[in-house]
Homo-oligomer: A and B are copies of this chain.
Amino acid sequence: MQVNYINPVLDSLVNVLGTMAAMKVRPGKPSIKTEQSARGDVTGVMSMFGPAARGSIAITFTAPVILELAQRMLRETYPGINEMVVDLAGEITNMVIGGAKAKLEEQGHKFDMSLPTLVAGANHIVMHKTQGKTVIMPFETDYVSFFVELCFE
Interface residues of A (CB under 8 A from B): 36, 43-47, 49, 54-56, 58, 83, 86-87, 90-91, 93-94, 112, 114-130, 151, 153
Copies of this chain: 2
Question: When A36-B83, A115-B47 are in contact, do A127 and B121 touch as well, CB less than 8 Å?
Answer: no
Q: Which residues of B contact A122 (CB under 8 A)?
A: 121
Q: Are A117 and B121 touching (Cβ within 8 A)?
A: no
Beta-carbon nearest neighbor of A121 in chain B: B124
Question: When A90-B129, A120-B36, A121-B123 are in contact, do A114 and B49 touch as well, CB less than 8 Å?
Answer: yes
Q: Which residues of B contact A114 (CB under 8 A)?
A: 47, 49, 54, 56, 114
Distance of A121 from chain B, by nearest CB (Å): 3
Beta-carbon nearest neighbor of A47 in chain B: B114
Q: Are A126 and B115 touching (Cβ within 8 A)?
A: no
Q: Which residues of B contact A123 (CB under 8 A)?
A: 121
